[in-house]
Amino acid sequence: DTAVSQTPKYLVTQMGNDKSIKCEQNLGHDTMYWYKQDSKKFLKIMFSYNNKELIINETVPNRFSPKSPDKAHLNLHINSLELGDSAVYFCASSQANFRDSLLPQYFGPGTRLTVT
């Protein structure tokens, strides 16, 4: 059973389009995340959700919007795609403990987005 799954695995689209990436976790975790990995392999957190509430929001363009229909899902919507959005996007999840310190994060397989 896949713990954290993402779809699609690959996404090729043209500038200006709107696209979504879906993420689901079956671990029963409270918190889910989206990360962006650039061409130099640098990983940067974009968003996290805890119990359907956005708790951090890095300085990403507002063209990116996370949407969480329930605790097991955190989808990423991207409007008006730009060339610079090309990257690998990873979804992750974890279970927060009582001190708000994160327990291990588990990552999905990634979605490689290519904007042409």
Binding site for other proteins (CB under 8 A): 31, 33, 40-45, 48, 50, 55-56, 58, 88, 90, 96, 99-107, 109-110, 112
Q: Cβ 112 to other proteins, closest distance in Å?
A: 7
- Report, in Å, the least distance between residue 87 CB and other proteins: 11
d(CA 79, CA 66): 11
CB of 80 to other proteins, least distance (A): 26
In the block, tokens 């919507």 appear at 77
Q: How far apart are CA 11 and CA 81, in angstroms?
A: 12
Cis check for the bond before 8: say yes or no (omega within 30 of 0). yes
Nearer to other proteins, 69 or 104 (CB): 104
